[in-house]
């Protein structure tokens, strides 16, 4: 990008941006003639993707700031008005907005709310930070046509973003995602109204306690054994961390109301967008749970719980009975919850004949075996919880012949209830507490039950391999890697024969050892390639939809035979190590 073009684009931004803090950033960069930084901020406009926005906070069209938020919301508002013309004509459209603890989240949320209001869309705005699942609940509870949660989920502190939701409480899926993107890209002017006028006209309403209390009651209503919790709650001690995010209010309230002993890590309890005690506020990362595990050891707790900044992701660590704590992966947690939900429904005589769980194509195959054990189905969908919610919507509308009892994905996402259509760390925490008490009553820990499931379903282990490709060249490099895999797919991975390759982007399944044989792939098109190995292992590759990185997922299984669980673990570990080496040889270390 030439210097004059950078200057012209930067000056255009300065005219459009209303927040002086972001304007000053750009003005200082122009004064310092920092052309490299300016080019990165202005070589493109931050893309409104299928899930919304996510980017580094700062001034510039390629950053998260109030102008980018307002422009995106104007496009979303325009699409909503076109999608619901009768309600629009009556002035009956509404939206809900929540935000997390990240820097500028309150400002971004209010900016979006005022754009909706200026477009005649009544907006329900939480006055302070709230979890993503509560935003999804509020949309369904209030009958809104759309919603936004301002969050960058578990990304580093430099990031913020927002996720766009539709009237079923889920993130947008086709055809609405493409329609919204087109409207966002077509925005040339943004409608405006001030806060006082919006409130006076009834176009902006602050919501808090009324939704909070209903949400808490809903979460408690999904528990199977309230009498067990009431009787045994004092037997389990839980250490919890919200990782400086939104979870403390709801997790403490719900678990506390059940009589459970919850100790929150004090240094991480309050919302803080700088996340001062963690590099990544992500319960998937062991370092993020370090302070909680240390406190749990000191308190002789039974369980560590953690939620990410917007409290949709949920992770745990379990006391191993030897003074240490074992971190449970997202796939393992999904297996434990699926098993407990099926078991509980069956014990109560409430397991539907057409029961099913939903998981994504990069989630462990163990879930499918657990479902089969209970005579139920496991439906696979694309990566991203919006696709799980889409399956739930289709089941609710009787478009598919299943009753969905649970949704889960490998990245620490779980959905217990139908009243929410996104992963819910709060309800997962409540159900996990009950599940812990249930198995304790049987003389077992969660780790004991997990080992029993391995004996039943085989030992499963998954790994993730990823690499960031920053800057202007990044997308091209990632596209090149994916295209090489498409044009010349490997015949082996980790020394194991690749039986078939599913190219979801091109809707085709090919067979490397039988080039003339093809089959159609039925999932919606997405930039994903899956390699199905002869021994049952599955390796998936896809560029991230929210970060400049390419991601690989590998899942392997070994039956627990005469050699026992340790032998099965060693067999799987060797396979995964070999697969990882082959992936690294392509993407680099």
Active site residues: 153
Q: Which residues, including other chains, have CB under 8 Å from residue 380's CB and lie 6 or more apart?
A: 358, 359, 360, 361, 363
Contact in structure between 167 and 146 (CB atoms under 8 Å) = yes
Give phi and psi for 562, each to the nearest 5. Answer: -65, -25
Helix and strand numbers (H, E) in the chain are: 20, 23
Closest listed residue to residue 67, CA positions, set 189, 197, 194: 189
End-to-end Cα spacing for the chain: 30
Q: Which residues, including other chains, have CB under 8 Å from residue 63's CB and lie 6 or more apart?
A: 22, 41, 46, 55, 56, 57
What is the distance of C-alpha 316 from the center of its chain?
Answer: 16
The torsion angle over the Cα atoms of residues 579, 583, 585 and 589, rounded to 10 degrees, is -110
Which two tokens mark 57?
């906070």
Sheet holding 261-264, edge to edge: 261-264, 237-241, 303-307, 314-319, 325-328
Sheet holding 355-360, edge to edge: 377-381, 355-360, 403-409, 413-415
Q: Give the burial class of 3: count Cβ atoms within 10 A of its Cβ; 0-12 exposed, 13-18 middle, 19 or more buried.
A: exposed
Q: Which residue has the tokens 């972001």?
A: 22
Query: Which of left, alpha, beta for 112 (phi over 0: left; psi -120 to 50: alpha)?
Result: alpha
Distance CA 498, CA 536 (A): 10
Distance CA 490, CA 528 (A): 15
Residue 17, Cβ neighbours under 10 Å: how many? 21
Distance CA 62, CA 110 (A): 21
Contact in structure between 309 and 159 (CB atoms under 8 Å) = no
Rounded to 10°, the helix 474-487/564-587 angle is 110
Which two tokens mark 484?
């090489």
Contact in structure between 325 and 304 (CB atoms under 8 Å) = yes
Supply the Cα-derived Rg of the chain in whole angstroms. Answer: 24
């Amino acid at each position: 990008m030439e210097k004059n073009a950078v200057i012209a684009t930067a000056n255009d931004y300065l005219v459009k941006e209303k927040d002086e803090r972001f304007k000053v950033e750009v003005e200082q960069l122009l004064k310092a003639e920092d052309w490299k930084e300016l080019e990165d901020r202005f070589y493109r406009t931050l893309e409104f993707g299928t899930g919304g926005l996510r980017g580094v906070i700062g001034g510039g069209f390629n950053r998260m700031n109030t102008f980018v938020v307002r422009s995106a919301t104007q496009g979303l508002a325009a699409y909503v008005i076109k999608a619901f013309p009768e309600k629009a004509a009556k002035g009956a459209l509404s939206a809900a907005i929540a935000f997390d603890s990240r820097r500028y989240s309150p400002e971004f949320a209010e900016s979006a709310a005022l754009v909706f209001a200026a477009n005649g869309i009544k907006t329900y705005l939480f006055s302070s930070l709230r979890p993503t699942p509560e935003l999804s609940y509020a949309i369904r509870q209030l009958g809104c046509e759309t919603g936004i949660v301002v969050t960058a989920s578990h990304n580093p502190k430099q990031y913020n973003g927002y996720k766009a939701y539709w009237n079923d409480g889920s993130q947008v899926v086709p055809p609405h995602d493409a329609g919204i993107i087109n409207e966002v890209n077509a925005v040339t002017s943004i409608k405006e109204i001030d806060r006082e006028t919006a409130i006076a006209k009834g176009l902006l309403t602050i919501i808090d306690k009324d939704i909070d209390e209903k949400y808490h009651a809903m979460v408690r209503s999904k528990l199977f054994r309230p009498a067990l919790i009431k009787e045994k709650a004092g037997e389990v001690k839980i250490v919890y961390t919200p990782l400086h995010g939104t979870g403390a209010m709801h997790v403490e309230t719900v678990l506390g109301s059940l009589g459970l002993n919850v100790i929150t890590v004090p240094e991480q309890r309050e919302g803080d967008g700088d996340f001062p005690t963690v590099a990544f506020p992500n319960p998937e990362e062991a370092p993020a749970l370090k302070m909680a595990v240390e406190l749990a050891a000191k308190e002789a707790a039974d369980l560590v719980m953690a939620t990410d900044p917007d409290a949709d992701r949920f992770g745990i660590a379990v006391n191993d009975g030897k003074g240490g704590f074992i971190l449970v992966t997202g796939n393992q947690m999904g297996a434990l919850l699926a098993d407990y939900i099926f078991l509980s429904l069956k014990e109560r005589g409430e397991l539907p004949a057409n029961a099913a769980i939903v998981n994504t194509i990069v989630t462990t195959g163990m879930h499918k075996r657990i479902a089969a054990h209970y005579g139920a189905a496991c439906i696979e969908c694309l990566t991203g919880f919006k696709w799980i919610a889409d399956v739930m919507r289709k089941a609710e509308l009787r478009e598919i012949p299943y009753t969905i009892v649970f949704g889960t994905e490998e990245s620490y996402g779980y959905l217990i209830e139908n009243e929410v259509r996104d992963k819910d760390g709060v309800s997962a925490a409540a159900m996990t507490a009950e599940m812990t008490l249930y198995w304790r009553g049987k003389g077992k820990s969660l780790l004991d039950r997990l080992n029993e499931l391995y004996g039943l379903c085989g030992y499963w282990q998954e790994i993730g391999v990823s690499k960031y490709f920053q800057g202007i060249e990044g997308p091209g490099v990632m596209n090149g890697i994916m295209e090489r895999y498409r044009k010349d797919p490997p015949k082996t991975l980790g020394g194991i024969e690749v039986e078939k390759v599913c190219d979801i982007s091109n809707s085709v399944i090919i067979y490397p050892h039988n080039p003339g044989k093809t089959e159609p792939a039925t999932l919606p098109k997405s930039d994903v390639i899956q390699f199905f190995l002869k021994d049952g292992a599955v390796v998936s590759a896809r560029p991230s939809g929210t970060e400049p990185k390419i991601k690989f997922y590998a899942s392997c299984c070994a039956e627990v035979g005469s050699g026992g669980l340790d032998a099965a673990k060693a067999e799987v570990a060797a396979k995964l190590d070999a697969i990882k080496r082959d992936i690294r040889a392509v993407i680099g270390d």
